[in-house]
Amino acid sequence: MSETWDEVLRRLVKDRIIPSPLYRVLLFGPPRTGKSSIAKELFSQPERVTIHKQLPTDDLLGGYGLINSKTVWQDGPAVRAMREGKCIVLDEVDQISPECRCILHALMDDPAGITLPTGERVEAKAGYCVIATTNALPSSLPPAVLDRFDLTLLANTLSAGLRTQLGKLATQADAVVGRDKTYAWSRPASINLFLAAAKLRRKGLRDEAIVSALGLTGQSATDALIALRG
């Protein structure tokens, strides 16, 4: 049986491919497969934000607050993740508003960094990574967001951690997840695919290993190999 999405992630973290050189992962698929929870297993104390249409930019970046009657800047989760070199989970990323989209671009730039309203420039420290999750198809994301992901995985099986939590009920729960066949998606040609592949070639990986590291299987893997060989 081929590797499940959570096995792929665990392997890439173990092989030091995530969080560097690859650090932007999209997990999409049916509800309740363990997408939002996996970061807790892989990284220490990840930050987590649930995106929604009215999310104020402050809830990502931070804002000014009163401390001892002084106005002081307080970092939000995205800035904390960059400063401290941690993982940030961005749930329901398809809900990103145009206002927050520019921040998302900065969070997923290469290298990631952002200028705060205070004028300070914060560059992402080693260890920083983004795991975005959604139930929507990746094609519903703005193209500039979608193309920034190094790795896009279809999470249509229950993660190992979730299966353990379910115990004997895992088989019944599998059947529920398996019923959802609506997540047909293949990765369109993506500039970031080539950028990610270039990084992995510099790391000494061969094209077959690169395609596997990028979570591509079947026809998508064949297409990527042909594209990489030019």
The answer to whether the peptide bond before residue 138 is cis (omega within 30 degrees of 0) is no
How far apart CA 61 and CA 47 sit, in angstroms, is 12
- Position 107, amino acid: L
Residue 119 near ligand ATP by CB under 6 A:
no
- Beta strand spans in 142-208 (E): 151-154
Give the per-residue contact string, 57-96, with Mg ion (x = CB under 5 A; - = no).
Answer: ----------------------------------x-----
Residue 159 near ligand ATP by CB under 6 A:
yes
Residue 161 near ligand ATP by CB under 6 A:
yes
Helices (H) and strands (E) in the chain, counts: 11, 9
- Beta strand spans in 68-216 (E): 70-75, 87-91, 113-115, 121-123, 129-134, 151-154
Q: Which does 98 bind (CB under 5 to 8 A by kind): ligand ATP, Mg ion, none?
A: none
Q: Which does 37 bind (CB under 5 to 8 A by kind): Mg ion, ligand ATP, none?
A: ligand ATP
Give the per-residue contact string, 20-59, with Mg ion (x = CB under 5 A; - = no).
Answer: ----------------x-----------------------
Binder among 32, 83, 101, 199 for ligand ATP (CB under 6 A): 32
Least spacing, CB of residue 67 vs ligand ATP, in Å: 34
CA atoms 188, 191, 196, 200: torsion sign: positive
- Residues found near Mg ion in the complex (CB under 5 A): 36, 91, 133
